[in-house]
Amino acid sequence: MTDQRTYPNGVTCWIAAAEPDPEAASRFYGELFGWTFRNIVPPGAPVYLMASLDGGDVGAITVGETANWYTFVATDDVDETAAEIERAGGTVVAPPRDAGSDGRTATVLDPQGAEFRLWQANEHPGSQVVNVPGSWNFSDLRSTDPDAAKRFYTEVFGWHYLDFGPTVEAMIQVPGYGDYLAATSDPDIYERQAGAPEGFADVIGGVEPAPDGEPAHWRVKFSVASRAESMAAAERLGGTVIGTDDQVWADLADIRDPQGAVFTISEFHEPR
């Protein structure tokens, strides 16, 4: 378990789902992942359901016309990063604004149209429980032009990319992130990942081509103890299994929730 209390600049830090019926969505994800929820906004305002697992925040569900999961990237200065995104060819959809006392945010698009959010933390740093069954694992960029996307994110956030072989997508590396985790919230990270490729502790996600017909988007991925059991549970709760993928390090499945938001589940295993 990684109790992540702060996130350095350029690290994906938070996820939230917009759903037409947030309460129904909370029942689906609550049963699927074991989450509990609390509404953190005053009565009369649109709900913002904070999801928790084992006492730590893992994500949120709010109201939206179209069901979708969104990924947030940490920044030290959301206003400057939003300006840099425009200089690099991206688009600011919703300009920087305060999110109460929790932090400051903006909604942006990369040049291929993949939407993500920026987060400058104040009282709420982001996801506090990650990489354990029932919690957020990674967010992967599925791009219509991966090479151009890599150049954009490198210009804005300084990302590097690691190639772990032909069966694994390019992994996003934030240099020094593993050292940061080892010095703060995850002191055993290098011992736990002793068999992993060099640089894996710095990885925050992946980049891969978007399947034909899909627009560029960020796909959230959740850790599960058993892919088979989680797929069965999702279908029992009204979700749909779209497809599966057996990779070197994990067995994956793409799932559509009852209102249409798509996400991936991942059962980790030792490399085959």
Write the DSSP string, 51-118.
Answer: EEETTEEEEEEEE-SS-EEEEEEE-S-HHHHHHHHHHTT-EEEEEEEEETTTEEEEEEE-TT--EEEE
pLDDT number for residue 239: 98
Q: What is the model's pLDDT at position 200?
A: 86
3-state secondary structure of 231: helix
Question: In this predicted structure, what is the pLDDT of residue 180?
Answer: 85
pLDDT at residue 1 in the model? 39
List, in order of start, the domains of the chain with CATH numbers: 2-268 (3.10.180.10)
List the chain pLDDT tens, one digit each, 272 residues: 344 457 999 999 999 999 999 999 999 999 999 999 999 988 888 899 999 999 999 999 999 999 999 999 999 999 999 999 999 999 999 999 999 899 999 999 999 999 999 999 999 999 998 888 999 999 999 999 999 999 999 999 999 999 876 545 689 999 999 898 888 777 888 887 887 788 888 999 999 999 999 999 999 999 999 999 999 999 999 999 999 999 887 899 999 999 999 999 999 887 76
Question: 124: which residues sit within 8 A by CB, 6+ positions away?
Answer: 57, 102, 103
Tokens of 47: 């709900």
CB-based burial label for 198 (10 Å; 0-12, 13-18, 19+): exposed
CB 128 within 8 A of CB 50: no
Write down the pLDDT at residue 193: 80
Query: What is the model's pLDDT at position 2?
Result: 43
pTM over 0.75: yes
